[in-house]
Structure 1
């Protein structure tokens, strides 16, 4: 798992960053790496707590809207 870059949610003191699952696989003639967003980390810069969007990292997020 890896943490992506934080992005500001406009008009708030909140930032969010994707939690990505990295995976590598090999096909016959090339190696490929891929990542998929499994969760989001939310950071409140006003008082510094962080929280995950969903409790576990076993979901797959295809897109997100702020």
Structure 2
């Protein structure tokens, strides 16, 4: 496998966010505690953590609720 074939966890998470959310409908901030971690917040204040699971080799999410 060539290095150009490897997609970083952060790129996978950003692709998921871009594919699933309307641009401008959420804000995205980094969460360096997990691979590729991003916290997205909608206009109502609900937050969702999306990250790459090294163990399961897939995207995972955790509902952080409203803050």
The two structures share one fold, judged by TM-score above 0.5: no
Higher gyration radius (CA): 1
Q: Higher strand share goes to which structure? A: 1
Q: Higher helix share goes to which structure? A: 2
Q: Using structure 2 for the length normalisation, give the TM-score.
A: 0.31
Q: Using structure 1 for the length normalisation, give the TM-score.
A: 0.31
